[in-house]
Structure 1
């Protein structure tokens, strides 16, 4: 029997999600975790096949995990009949350099190939291509997006295109890896699409770690937590 651990914080949607998941997956054992330290222990526990953060706060957990796995990064997995993509960076302190975003993009490419998908990468910036010069931050973001696109093209055989600020075009053209300008922007995109507009997220896949760990929002719905449990369970089967 597989064992999946999940963190229980103030959002009690977790409890209902676990009941729904167990009805569909009775052969998977669910372990409830009620504090940060125990959740980190669960991630490192070889007897637990997968861990979902649930509704526990992220900051302390990610800090502890990054001390053990310094190359840790996350990508939110959104999947519906009409669209499917990984969105990264999504942590507010992540994706601060071109090099860091490049590594995240490569992690996404490797993950999609592992699950039998063909990567199609969209790089985003904080303005259109012709917005260059409209402020230092906008210009720097556009320059970084160009540098990142070129870096991916030179080091990866996956299709990549710089969409600048046109995220709607990137999604409509079926890009399945979306690289936000930085983690703050990525977090806002996630909240706008998933928490406000109810796009189906399975949580964030965590890279740079030899364990199955799905990061989730503290504000997720019951259905969202069920999807995260399903993803952790499916990835645990593939290990």
Structure 2
């Protein structure tokens, strides 16, 4: 029997989600976790097959996990308009350099290959290509997006394109790995698509750790937490 642990904070949608999940997956044991420390212990516990953050705060948990796994990164798994894609970076302190975003991109590519999907990568920036020169931050973001696109092209055979600020074109082209300019922008995109516009999300897949850990928003719906439990259950090793 698989064992999945999930964090219970102030959002009671977690409890209802667990009941719904158990009706569909009675063979999986669910452990409810009520503190950051216990959740971290659950991630490291080899007797537990997968962990979902649920509605516990992320900051302390990610800080502790990054001390043990310094290359930790996340990508939110979104299903919108009939196709699935990974959105990254999404942590507000993640993806601040080209090197960080390149590592996350390579993790996303490897993950999709493991689940039998062909990566199609979109790199984003904080302006159009011809917006270069309209402020230091915009220009730096455009330069970084060009560097990142070139780095991906040189190190992988996967399809990649720099869409600059045109995320709508990346989505219309069915890109399944979308690289935001930084984690703050990625977090806003996530909240706009998932929490405001109700695009289904399975939570964030965590890379750089040899455990199944799904990061989630404290503001997620019942259905969102059910999807995260299903993803953790699917990825967990028997």
Quick check: TM above 0.5?
A: yes
Q: CA separation of 1:124/1:81 partners in 2, compared to 1, >3 Å: closer, same or farther?
A: closer
How far apart, in 2, do the equivalents of 1:197 and 1:119 lie? Answer: 25
1:80 is displaced (CA, Å) by: 4.2
1:37 is displaced (CA, Å) by: 0.2
Task: Tell me what 1:186 maps to.
Answer: 186
Question: What are the within-5 Å matches in structure 2 for residues 52-201 of structure 1?
Answer: 52-80=52-80, 82-201=82-201
Task: Give unpaired runs (5+ residues) of structure 1.
Answer: none
1:82 is displaced (CA, Å) by: 1.7
TM-score norm. by structure 2 comes to: 0.99
The one-character-per-residue Cα deviations of 1:147-168 (angstroms, maximum 9, x if unpaired) are 0000000001110000000000
How far apart, in 2, do the equivalents of 1:201 and 1:127 lie? Answer: 26
Give the secondary structure class of the aligned counterpart of 1:163: strand
Task: Tell me what 2:6 maps to.
Answer: 6
1:77 is displaced (CA, Å) by: 0.1
1:81 is displaced (CA, Å) by: 5.6
How far apart, in 2, do the equivalents of 1:215 and 1:172 lie? Answer: 26
1:83 is displaced (CA, Å) by: 2.1
Number of corresponding residues: 238
Alignment root-mean-square deviation, CA: 0.8
Which segments of structure 1 move beyond 2 Å, counting only runs of 4 or more?
none
How far apart, in 2, do the equivalents of 1:67 and 1:158 lie? Answer: 32
Task: Tell me what 1:223 maps to.
Answer: 223
CA contact (8 A) 1:83 1:171 kept: no
The one-character-per-residue Cα deviations of 1:204-227 (angstroms, maximum 9, x if unpaired) are 000000000000000000000000
How far apart, in 2, do the equivalents of 1:81 and 1:111 lie? Answer: 21
How far apart, in 2, do the equivalents of 1:236 and 1:22 lie? Answer: 16
